[in-house]
């Protein structure tokens, strides 16, 4: 065999990617070996235990997950020396049933686990519906599994077995399980030997054995089953060989591009058609799919029939084929179109069960198909009708099983006919109309449009009778005198029936298209609605509401949050999930498959959980339930739900992504601020330190040789730079306090003039080169502010003004009140602020003159101002002066912060009452405004 | 005035003690030092200082406790060294019995001014005369008369009470609560707006320029202080 790596790319002998992928996928998970037998009692379990013991001797950690000995002594003996895991009790309808403890196996993590009867159906309430799913999970954990299987359980052979043995096996195993098994060992025993073992009582008790031999274990049956088992195993060998050849790029005589489509309908034989398609496809190594052509008739189908279609499609998927539904008008034509477009080579279709009469009227689909199919092979199969499974009967919704007969259409139709007669009869008496039958035709048309086919046929009939009775001589009898009238009456009936059919069909189409249009409109409305939603909770609520409204379901939406799944929305509102539901939701989320009610996994949950999926992955799960028993969703509803879910999933992802982007932006911004802070600390704080250290060391080294003036200068530098450093540290502290939210304003009534004066006093040292002018109105109220924090804001604003305005210019602090606000301004005569930066200057670390700083600062001063003013309930902004260059910083405090005037007035009254000497005007006009001298020294 | 006056410096930072010691010594004070609350209380008993400079952040005990303990033994003026943005701490130490505070970092000029004010107040407290004099302002407690540049000022009773209380503690910071309790009574100890209104009125009467008050100083977030100015040279 050539090494795949040595083969050159030109020769085309490259390994098929799929085959390689399948091989690599298998490497991570545990291997599955199936011991396949034709019937119970051939010794599968025995062989499996032998093989397990052999492995154990090789040093593999082997445990028994579950083995049924059926009381057989030889088998029991073999269990000696093997670790048997205790089973788990599952409560079901007051009974305790023991099932394999899958969690114990996963926790124990052996090298190999032995699991009997792969096709077993678990007790409801177990995690998985079927044992093979347990095995899949065990294998996914990297644990090897040995298991046993009887051939009759294989899904695709189900009806063949039923034909041969007349026993329909309920416990079936999807074919893909055996396809994907790594090894199959056929445990073969000739029918004669098996029957002998049976008679010896080695398999069942003697009595049971007798019955078994008469029924299932007849020699003929066993021979057939044995043949099937051997064939299936041989086919497996064949597939393995093909896989191997493909994986190693060996040219082979592959079946060339066969593709099969099996056409299904609501007939019960559809399931067997699907299985047949699968077997055919297996033989031909072909891809295959089941196709349902949805015509207007779909609307007339009962729920049970629709369920059968859905089940057949599901079965096809189960068996590894595709499942397709397309809308169609003409079955044969659309089927051939589809087949041609998809390179289908064979069409499988069921034999028609319609009467010859019906086919003459409607034409036969099969004949039509044969005529049109060209070079596509058409297999017409007499599918076997399966008895409806009891489960289906239970699940069928109550309203369809007993579809009550509705009299109303017939009653109304009768009234319409009577009306036609009532109008027609006097009219006819008066003017003798030749075509009075048209009136009755109108009644038929009405009935057909309004109520459909059967009522209109009924109307046709009674119209004919009424016409005959009232208008055809002899009148008021049902006999007809004139033979030509018999013909006329006959034609009337024919026309009425055709009209009925035509009108009924139009009505069906109209209903169907209206229903489609309604769903489409609803979907469109939904997509428009959610497109505009930017908030996750709103979106989820809208989705839940939409589904609840359109499909009459209870909905919960479960999304991951803080590392666990949480109910984020529900309609009707729901906050918590029961344990079973949470388990199902978690399963659906981790496995990306449906779980819960009606699903294969955890069917004990109250809700069905469906994964919400986008191309990028899962975004959450949706749980649905309804109060009524029975299946949650009709196939049509399921499609609608899928469409809504897809849209919702995309919208959820959109919001998640937007959140991620915001998050990324925040991270980036944080990063920028952090680096700015580092720059600020490392650079701006070091600058004054450099001056201080430089000056101090100069003084120490050369202090003696410096003259007095130089020494003074250096000392002044040290002091000023240290003070600057102190302000920087103060700013960083304030910013930290502000950001940590630790700053709580200590409010007390503040006299603004007092506060402004105090702030200018502490800023006096900074104002050595500027004129400060205070212009403070006299009617300012006391404001509830933090005196110190407000002072800090003013200090920073004055500091800022002094930093940017040229020497010997004026800095004005003005305070005024108007109807709504108290307004404090700090106005300078500097260069002003670039208009685009008016808002950004309040950002942390923003500086207008990035590069050439005239005076170093931390870029925090204004950010602190804004933080503090916001904290105190005010507002601060910057603008440029209009009268000249210069910046104006405006602080607005709403009047609501003012201390109640009445209280102050009371104080004033008290004052006059207590006046010791004659009252005098309290305020001297000359003191209204005054310029503060800029010298900052304390004592005169 | 400085000679023979003994000052106790309590601070655990050697650098702070060093510059305080040299500056105060240069001014002619005798300086004692302590690093901890325990050694400070010992020194207080042994050396009987005339003034204590106390850092609130001592390693062994809470500064406020130390103030209260000192007050049980002595009326010695205490100047507290406080940190920025800690107005609550300043108020608490003043209410506990400290006479003044100064915020770190500070210039030595500022400290010396406070030291002098505190010492002067101590002297006044020992023998307060019937007349208070500061700059051009004089208050005759017996006559209940207030004069500015010899001119009688007309004050309401509350204004007078407020001014008198501040004059009695001239040079010291008086917290809002202390003032409100003394003038309006315990019930009004939190009505800071009374103070704002009355201080404003007082300033209009006392000060040449209320926007640059010479006598009635605001201590942001803490209280007020009536400064003692030298008598006019005129």
Q: Mind listing the pLDDT tens digit for each residue in A544-573?
A: 888 888 888 889 999 888 878 888 888 888
In chain A, pLDDT over 70 holds for what percent of residues? 84
**What does DSSP assign to residue A378?**
E
Please write the tens of the pLDDT for every residue from B101-110. 998 888 888 8
Reduced to 3 states (helix: H, G, I; strand: E, B; else coil), residue A831 is coil
Please write the tens of the pLDDT for every residue from A677-706. 777 677 777 888 888 998 998 888 887 888
Return the CATH number of the domain spanning residue range B131-226: 1.10.10.10
- The chain B residue lying nearest A748, using CA atoms, is B192
**Is the Cβ pair A927, B209 closer than 8 Å?**
yes
**Is the Cβ pair B220, A787 closer than 8 Å?**
yes
Question: Per DSSP, what are the bridge partners of residue A810?
Answer: A771
φ, ψ (nearest 5 deg) of residue A25: -55, -35
Residue A456's pLDDT band, with cuts at 50, 70 and 90, is: confident
**What does DSSP assign to residue A899?**
P
Best CA proximity match to A502, nearest among A453, A461, A462, A455: A453
Peptide bond before A572: cis, by omega within 30 degrees of 0? yes
pLDDT reported for residue A775: 92
Domain B6-126 matches domain B131-226 at the CATH topology level: no
Helix (H) or strand (E) holding A619: strand A617-625
Question: Per DSSP, what are the bridge partners of residue A260?
Answer: A288, A346
Give me the helices (H) in A82-130, please: 102-108
Average pLDDT taken over every residue of chain B: 86
Q: Check pLDDT > 80 for residue B69.
A: yes
Distance of alpha carbon A215 from alpha carbon B74, whole angstroms: 116
Reduced to 3 states (helix: H, G, I; strand: E, B; else coil), residue A141 is coil
**Is the Cβ pair A757, B197 closer than 8 Å?**
no
Best CA proximity match to A756, nearest among A639, A893, A887: A893
pLDDT reported for residue A917: 41
Token look-up 């034709």 returns A38
Residue pair B69/B41 in contact by the 8 Å Cβ criterion: yes
More reliable by pLDDT, A125 or A419: A419
pLDDT reported for residue A844: 77
Q: Check pLDDT > 60 for residue B79.
A: yes
pLDDT reported for residue A905: 62
**Domain ranges, ordered by start, for chain B:** 6-126, 131-226
Best CA proximity match to A520, nearest among A643, A397, A420: A643
Residue pair A544/A641 in contact by the 8 Å Cβ criterion: no
**Is the Cβ pair B220, A791 closer than 8 Å?**
yes
Q: Is the pTM of this model over 0.80?
A: no
Which region among A43-52, A199-208, A387-396 has the lowest average model confidence (pLDDT)? Answer: A387-396
- Pairing relation of β-strands A287-294 and A259-264? parallel
**A733 contacts in chain B (CB < 8 Å):** 84-85
Best CA proximity match to B94, nearest among B178, B164, B167, B216: B178
**Is the Cβ pair A788, B85 closer than 8 Å?**
yes
Residue A17's pLDDT band, with cuts at 50, 70 and 90, is: low
- Interval A115-130 mean pLDDT: 85
pLDDT reported for residue A876: 94
Residue A748's pLDDT band, with cuts at 50, 70 and 90, is: confident
Shortest Cα–Cα distance, A887 to chain B (Å): 24
- Interval A307-316 mean pLDDT: 82
- Interval A526-543 mean pLDDT: 83
Give CATH superfamily name and number for B6-126.
Response regulator (3.40.50.2300)
φ, ψ (nearest 5 deg) of residue A358: -60, -45
Output the six-digit token pair for A252.
Answer: 């082979």
Burial A737-748 (b: 16+ CB within 10 A, else e): bbeeeebebebb
**Is the Cβ pair A920, B154 closer than 8 Å?**
yes
Distance of alpha carbon B222 from alpha carbon A697, whole angstroms: 39
**Is the Cβ pair B199, A758 closer than 8 Å?**
no
Output the six-digit token pair for B67.
Answer: 């103030």
Token look-up 């000995």 returns A69
pLDDT reported for residue A394: 33
- Interval B159-168 mean pLDDT: 90
Residue pair B119/B7 in contact by the 8 Å Cβ criterion: no
Average pLDDT taken over every residue of chain A: 79
| Contacts of B115 by beta carbon, 8 Å cutoff, 6+ apart | B7, B24, B29, B51, B53, B79
- Interval B216-228 mean pLDDT: 89
Please write the tens of the pLDDT for every residue from A863-903. 889 999 999 999 999 999 998 889 999 999 998 888 876 66
- The chain A residue lying nearest B190, using CA atoms, is A748
Question: Per DSSP, what are the bridge partners of residue A148?
Answer: A35
- Interval A366-391 mean pLDDT: 71
Residue pair A737/A860 in contact by the 8 Å Cβ criterion: no
**Is the Cβ pair B154, A755 closer than 8 Å?**
no
Peptide bond before A302: cis, by omega within 30 degrees of 0? no
**A734 contacts in chain B (CB < 8 Å):** 85
- The chain B residue lying nearest A719, using CA atoms, is B107
Distance of alpha carbon A72 from alpha carbon A79, whole angstroms: 11
Burial A270-281 (b: 16+ CB within 10 A, else e): bbbbbbbbbbbb
Residue A359's pLDDT band, with cuts at 50, 70 and 90, is: low
**Is the Cβ pair B218, A758 closer than 8 Å?**
yes
- The chain A residue lying nearest B106, using CA atoms, is A723
Best CA proximity match to A189, nearest among A226, A216, A154, A219: A226
**Is the Cβ pair A910, B158 closer than 8 Å?**
yes
- The chain A residue lying nearest B218, using CA atoms, is A758
Q: Check pLDDT > 60 for residue A334.
A: yes
pLDDT reported for residue A392: 35
Residues of B contacting chain A (CB within 8 angstroms): 84-85, 87-88, 105, 107, 110, 113, 154-160, 176, 192-194, 196-197, 199-201, 204, 209-214, 218, 220-221, 229
- The chain A residue lying nearest B223, using CA atoms, is A787
């Amino acid at each position: 065999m050539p090494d795949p790596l040595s083969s050159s790319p030109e020769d085309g002998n490259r390994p098929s990617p799929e085959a390689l992928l399948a091989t690599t996928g298998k490497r991570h998970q545990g291997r599955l070996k199936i011991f396949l037998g034709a019937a119970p009692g051939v010794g599968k379990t025995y062989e499996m235990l032998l093989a397990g013991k052999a492995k154990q001797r090789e040093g593999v950690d082997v445990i028994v997950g579950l083995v049924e000995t059926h009381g057989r002594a030889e088998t029991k003996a073999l269990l000696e020396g093997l670790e048997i895991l205790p089973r788990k009790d599952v409560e079901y309808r007051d009974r305790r049933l023991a099932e394999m403890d899958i969690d114990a196996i996963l926790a124990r993590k052996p090298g190999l686990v032995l699991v009997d009867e792969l096709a077993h159906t678990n007790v409801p309430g177990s995690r998985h519906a079927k044992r093979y799913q347990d095995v899949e999970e065990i294998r996914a954990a990297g644990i090897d599994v040995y298991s046993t299987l009887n051939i009759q359980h294989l899904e695709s052979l189900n009806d063949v077995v039923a034909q041969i043995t007349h026993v329909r096996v309920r416990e079936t195993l999807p074919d893909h399980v055996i396809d994907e098994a790594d090894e199959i060992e056929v445990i073969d025993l000739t029918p004669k030997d098996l029957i002998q073992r049976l008679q010896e009582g080695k398999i069942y008790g003697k009595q049971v054995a007798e019955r078994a031999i008469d029924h299932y274990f007849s020699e003929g049956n066993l021979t057939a089953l044995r043949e099937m088992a051997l064939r299936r195993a041989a086919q497996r060998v064949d597939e393995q060989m093909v896989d191997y050849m493909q994986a190693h790029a060996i040219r082979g005589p592959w079946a060339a591009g066969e593709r099969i489509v099996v056409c299904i309908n609501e007939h019960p034989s559809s399931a067997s058609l699907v299985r047949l398609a699968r077997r055919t496809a297996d033989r031909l190594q072909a891809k295959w799919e089941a196709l349902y052509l949805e015509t207007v008739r779909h609307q007339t189908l009962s729920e049970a029939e629709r369920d059968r279609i859905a089940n057949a499609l599901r079965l096809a998927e189960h068996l590894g084929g595709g499942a397709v539904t397309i809308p169609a008008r003409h079955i044969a034509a659309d089927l051939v179109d589809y087949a041609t477009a998809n390179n289908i080579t064979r069409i499988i279709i069921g034999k028609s069960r319609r009467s010859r009469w019906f086919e003459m009227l409607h034409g036969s689909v099969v004949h039509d198909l044969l005529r049109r199919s060209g070079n596509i092979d058409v297999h017409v199969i007499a599918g076997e009708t399966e008895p409806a499974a009891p489960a289906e009967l239970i699940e069928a919704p109550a309203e369809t099983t007993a579809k009550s007969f509705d009299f109303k259409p017939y009653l109304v139709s009768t009234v319409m006919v009577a009306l036609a007669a009532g109008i027609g009869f006097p009219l006819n008496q008066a003017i003798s109309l030749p075509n009075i039958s048209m009136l009755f035709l109108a009644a038929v048309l009405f009935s057909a449009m309004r109520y459909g086919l059967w009522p209109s046929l009924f109307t046709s009939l009674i119209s004919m009778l009424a016409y005959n009775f009232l208008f055809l001589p002899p009148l008021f009898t049902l006999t007809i005198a004139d033979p030509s009238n018999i013909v006329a009456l006959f034609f009337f009936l024919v026309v009425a029936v055709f009209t009925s059919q035509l009108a009924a069909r139009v009505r069906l189409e109209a209903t169907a298209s209206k229903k489609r249009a309604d769903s489409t409109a609803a979907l469109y409305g939904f997509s428009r609605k959610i497109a505009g939603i930017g908030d996750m909770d709103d979106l989820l609520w809208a989705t839940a509401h939409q589904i609840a409204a359109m499909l009459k379901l209870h909905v919960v939406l479960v999304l991951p949050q803080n590392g666990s799944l949480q109910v984020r929305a529900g309609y009707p509102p729901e906050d918590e999930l029961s344990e079973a539901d949470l388990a199902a939701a978690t399963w659906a989320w981790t496995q990306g498959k449906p779980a819960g009610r009606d699903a294969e996994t955890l069917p004990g949950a109250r809700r069905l959980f469906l994964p919400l999926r986008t191309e990028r992955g899962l975004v959450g799960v949706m749980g649905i339930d309804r109060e009524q028993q029975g299946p949650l969703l009709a196939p049509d509803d399921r499609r609608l739900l899928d469409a809504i879910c897809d849209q919702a999933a995309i919208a959820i992802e959109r919001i998640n992504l937007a959140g991620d982007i915001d998050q990324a932006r925040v991270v980036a911004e944080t990063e920028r601020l952090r680096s700015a802070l580092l720059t600020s600390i490392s650079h701006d704080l070091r600058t004054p330190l450099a001056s201080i250290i430089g000056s101090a060391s100069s003084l120490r080294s050369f202090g003696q040789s410096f003259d007095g003036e130089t020494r003074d200068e250096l000392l002044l530098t040290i002091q000023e730079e240290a003070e600057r450093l102190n302000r920087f540290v103060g700013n960083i502290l304030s910013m930290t306090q502000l950001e940590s939210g630790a700053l709580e304003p200590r409010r007390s009534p503040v006299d603004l003039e007092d506060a402004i004066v105090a702030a200018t006093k502490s800023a006096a040292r900074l104002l050595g080169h500027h004129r400060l002018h205070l212009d403070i109105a006299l009617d300012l109220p006391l404001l509830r502010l933090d005196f110190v924090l407000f002072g800090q804001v003013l200090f920073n604003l004055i500091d800022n003004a002094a930093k940017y305005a040229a020497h010997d210019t004026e800095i004005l602090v003005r305070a005024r009140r108007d109807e709504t606000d108290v307004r404090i301004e700090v106005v300078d005569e500097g260069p002003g602020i670039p208009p685009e930066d008016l808002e950004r200057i309040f950002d942390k670390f923003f500086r207008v003159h990035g590069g050439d700083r005239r005076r170093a600062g931390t870029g925090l001063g204004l950010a602190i101002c804004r933080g503090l003013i916001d904290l105190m309930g005010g507002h601060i902004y910057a603008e440029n002066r209009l009268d000249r260059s210069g910046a104006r910083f405006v602080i607005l405090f709403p009047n609501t912060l003012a201390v109640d005037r009445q209280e102050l007035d009371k104080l004033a009254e008290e004052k006059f009452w207590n006046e010791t000497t004659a009252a005098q005007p309290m305020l001297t006009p000359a003191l209204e405004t005054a310029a503060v001298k800029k010298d900052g020294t304390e004592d005169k | 005035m400085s000679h023979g006056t003994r000052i106790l410096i309590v601070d655990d930072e050697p650098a702070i003690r060093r510059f305080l010691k040299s500056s105060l010594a240069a001014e002619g004070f005798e300086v004692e030092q302590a690093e901890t609350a325990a050694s400070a209380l010992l020194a207080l008993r042994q050396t009987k200082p005339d003034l204590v400079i106390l850092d609130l952040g001592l390693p062994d005990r809470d500064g406020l406790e130390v103030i209260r303990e000192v007050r049980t033994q002595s009326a010695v003026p205490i100047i507290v060294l406080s940190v920025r943005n800690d107005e609550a701490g300043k108020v608490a130490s003043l209410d506990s019995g400290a006479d003044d505070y100064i915020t770190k970092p500070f210039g030595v000029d500022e400290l010396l001014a406070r030291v002098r004010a505190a010492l002067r107040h101590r002297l006044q407290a020992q023998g307060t005369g019937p007349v208070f004099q500061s700059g051009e302002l004089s208050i005759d407690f017996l006559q209940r008369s207030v004069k500015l540049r010899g001119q009688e000022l007309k004050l309401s009773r509350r204004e007078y009470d407020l001014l008198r209380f501040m004059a009695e503690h001239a040079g010291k910071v008086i917290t809002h609560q202390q003032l409100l309790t003394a003038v309006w009574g315990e019930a009004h100890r939190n009505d800071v707006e009374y103070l704002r209104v009355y201080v404003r009125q007082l300033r209009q009467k006392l000060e040449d320029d209320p926007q640059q008050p010479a006598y009635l100083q605001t201590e942001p977030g803490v209280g007020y202080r009536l400064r003692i100015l030298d008598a006019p040279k005129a």
